[in-house]
Amino acid sequence: MSTSSIPARPRMTSQDYQAFDALFALSSSIGSTDAGGLHRLTASAADKQMRDAFCLWLKQQGFSVHVDEIGNIFGLMTLVEGAPWILCGSHLDSQPQGGRFDGAYGVTGAAATIAALVRQLSEKPARNLAVVNWTNEEGARFQPSLTGSSVFTGALSLKHALACEDAEGVTLQAALRSIGYDGNALPPLPLAAYLELHVEQGPHLEQQQKQIGVVTETWAALKWQVTFRGEQNHTGPALMSRRRDALLAAALTIVAVRAEADRHGEVLHTSVGRLETAPNSPNVVTREATLFIEFRSVDEALLQQLRDSFSQQMQSIAQQTATDVSLDRAQFRPRQQLDNSLSQLALAQAEKLGFSAMPMRSVAGHDAISLSYHCPSALLFVPSVNGLSHNEREFTAEQDLHRGLDVLMAMLSELSLAPEAAE
């Protein structure tokens, strides 16, 4: 066979980029903030508006749409009856006053790329294609994070996920029902692979002057929800020596969490990203303070050590402040290797396209990590300006966004058209 008779692989065209740009701009406009960011919490009015717009777009492009019981939205392109699926996606929910690229790029980019690929197919593929919007990836309104993808893979039960409550006591089930996205069980969807596009949310690609990052492994994470309980009292006459101030205990704990990172250097990242207090009045000694603590490291042994040593520190803080402490929720996410064959394919396709690429680790959690326990998975990064994320000033240049689509298109083309590539 002459090389001239071999069909050219599909590629993104200028019209395809424009279709993506328009869909991404639509996403950026729903729940937008005055500072150019995004405030689109799970199952909020803005989330409903975005979900409605996304489902409409999918139907207009020829996808069949299915919403499962946890609210995940699947756009399905059935190309070969009975064949396994290549699933791509991310999430459309955001952090409070967050960025417009985090998550939304992966969903809109996957949808636009799959639509472009299907239009260009000139030979029968061996795989079906689908895009997904995972529910509550961020974990901002409901905990834990990665909810939708964890239910899909069986790592989290549907019952427990739907029972999660927000700060107002609203369950995820009730919230999804209120916006019309409490769906039905998904028919069997055997996956050959899962691919996810994402902005890096860190500075490494920019620092190394690379255009594409291919995640080969992730850091481990230890996440705690901890509550100190003291005694409510008047902030004026209550004797200082008699106070049982839960907020003081929380403050000492926050300082201790940061001290662990300072002690261990860059191998450990720590944070207390959320603090809830009661009664939360300026004239009342705090009776209860709940902290959301995170320790992240590539060193699982270090996290195991911290699990014991920091528990003892919190007990000491409770004793020092005459409060009681409880561990209300604990989650350990182990270090995870992503599929090597998909990582190598991504690096090879980036090189063919003339892009500079590098393998890298991800400190942040992503739906691709959930899926990696279920099927071969790949996670692709494009640069984030100044490494800033979960911030209204989060930004990735249009050209970098388009390069990510190019690599995704090349991978989808290879995996869908070559039967042996996704086995």
* Cα maximum dimension of the chain: 92
34 marked ligand binding residue: no
Distance set, CA 253 to CA 167, 289, 297 (Å): 22, 11, 19
d(CA 258, CA 378): 32
Residue 369 near residue 144, CB atoms below 8 Å? no
Token pair for 28? 């950026």
Q: What is the 3-state composition of the chain as percent helix, strand, coil, each rounded to the nearest 5?
A: 40, 25, 35
- Opening angle at CA 132, ends 127 and 136, nearest 5: 150
Residues whose CB is less than 8 angstroms from the CB of residue 14 and which lie 6 or more positions away in sequence, other chains included? none
Distance CA 98, CA 33 (A): 9
| Amino acid of residue 247 | L
**What is the DSSP pairing of strand 233-234 with strand 128-133?**
unpaired
Is 245 labelled as part of a ligand binding site?
no
C-beta separation of 53 from 107 below 8 A:
no
Cα distances from 267 to residues 220, 276, 318, in angstroms, run 11, 28, 28
* 198 carries a ligand binding annotation: yes
- 374 is annotated as contributing to ligand binding: no
Q: Are 420 and 345 in contact (CB under 8 A)?
A: no
Q: Which residues pair with 358 in a beta bridge?
A: 213
| Residue closest to 91 by CA, chosen among 72, 75, 67 | 72
Secondary structure of residue 381 in the 3-state scheme: strand
Instruction: For residue 138, say whether it is annotated as part of any ligand binding site.
Output: yes
Annotated binding site: 91, 102, 138, 198, 390
Annotated binding site for Zn(2+): 91, 102, 138, 198, 390
